[in-house]
Amino acid sequence: MSSSATPSRSQSARLLVMEGNTAEARARQVQFGGEAASEGYARLLRELFPDAVVDICYPADPGANLPDRGGLEGYDGIAITGSSLNIYHGGPPIQQQIDLLRAAFDTGTPIFGSCWGLQLITVAAGGVVRRNPRGREVGFGRRIRLTQAGAGHRLFDEKPPVFEAMTVHLDEVDTLPEGARLLATNEHSQVQAAEIPCGNAMAWGVQYHPEYPFREMAAIFRRLSPSLVAEGFFLDEEEEQSFIGDLEALERDPANHALVWRHGVDGAVISKDLRTMEIRNWVRHQVIPTRAARGRG
């Protein structure tokens, strides 16, 4: 990582990670060798920005102790994880997240969302999310390409104009909120990244997972088995297990040329610096400048 990507101590930020999953879903991911989405997200943020203070909240949990507007104003950035929930199903675990996010909109705190995070921001800001008629996108999102707006956007500083990314989602953004800008797209989902103005805040969101390492994707495939066979992604469970083995091998050795060639992935997936660039850029170009404007830098 280049030194320019790391804030100095005077620029250190206080960040909040909003966990999108219920306690049951978090436990299930751990059961299959993964971790709670918020734990992985928080660890990555601390790794990329060692001086940052990172807290986690669990708005999908009954009786969760959530920050009010005053508490939210104390954060310099809010990141939202993925989730196994479907936002159009509604219910308290989803509504509590929408309510918390709308309170954050009023504070002007910069927001970043991965996958569910993008969908949550979209709905909270007045847009629409639906089940993707093309089905699930899983493993590697292929040929994600920047729009004209995305090519000049700071979210994608140092990112290739066309790239692959870790992904797993069944739902997609159908209609962006008023004033939003489409920043990236592919053949599977029109909205792969967007900038969304929401109240006093600005949100950046992506439909893929720049925060995921290969080992987490392997755990997701184990958790989703055998449904991925039924959906036609693999001929049988043996083939699926072979793919999971490849993901685990790439975790150990991302420069494995045979596996990189076999799965047709590019440097934007293999290189951790490039894979996580959107999160780095969010902190570098949104969190730190906004913090300085508030007199905290």
* Continuous segment of H or E residues that includes residue 192: none
Is 285 among the catalytic positions? Answer: no
Task: Out of 211, 216, 240, 278, pick the active-site residue.
Answer: 211
Whether the per-residue pLDDT at 68 is higher than 80: the answer is yes
What kind of architecture, by CATH, is found in domain 3-213+272-293? 3-Layer(aba) Sandwich (3.40)
pLDDT (tens digit, 9 = 90+) per residue, 96-127? 999 999 999 999 999 999 999 999 999 999 99
Query: What's the count of helices (H) and strands (E) in the chain, helices before strands?
Result: 14, 11
User: Across-strand partners of 59?
Assistant: none
Task: Check residue 92 and report its DSSP letter.
Answer: H
Average pLDDT, the chain: 93
pLDDT (tens digit, 9 = 90+) per residue, 15-30? 999 999 999 999 999 9
When pLDDT is cut at 50, 70 and 90, the band that residue 82 belongs to is very high
Q: What is the pLDDT of residue 84?
A: 96
Q: Strand 181-185 relative to strand 137-146: parallel, antiparallel, unpaired?
A: antiparallel
Whether the per-residue pLDDT at 6 is higher than 50: the answer is no
Task: Out of 57, 115, 137, 188, pick the active-site residue.
Answer: 115
When pLDDT is cut at 50, 70 and 90, the band that residue 297 belongs to is low
Between 57 and 6, the more confident residue is 57
Q: What is the pLDDT of residue 295?
A: 66
What is the C-alpha separation between 209 and 4, in angstroms, rounded?
23
Contact 222, 33 (CB under 8 A): yes
Residue spans per domain, the chain: 3-213+272-293
What are the structure tokens assigned to 223, written together?
Answer: 């958790």
Q: Token match 């439909």: residue?
A: 207
When pLDDT is cut at 50, 70 and 90, the band that residue 8 belongs to is very low
* Continuous segment of H or E residues that includes residue 159: none
Q: What are phi and psi of 284, to 5 degrees?
A: -70, -40
Whether the per-residue pLDDT at 296 is higher than 80: the answer is no
One-letter amino acid of 292: A
- Indicate the burial class of 62 (C-beta count within 10 angstroms; 0-12, 13-18, 19 or more): exposed
Task: Out of 169, 209, 216, 240, pick the active-site residue.
Answer: 209
Q: Token match 């140092």: residue?
A: 158
Task: Check residue 158 and report its DSSP letter.
Answer: T
Task: Check residue 291 and report its DSSP letter.
Answer: H
Is 209 among the catalytic positions? Answer: yes
pLDDT (tens digit, 9 = 90+) per residue, 132-168? 999 999 999 999 999 999 999 999 999 999 999 999 9
Q: What is the pLDDT of residue 13?
A: 84
Is 211 among the catalytic positions? Answer: yes
Whether the per-residue pLDDT at 239 is higher than 90: the answer is yes
> What is the pTM (predicted TM-score) of this model?
0.93
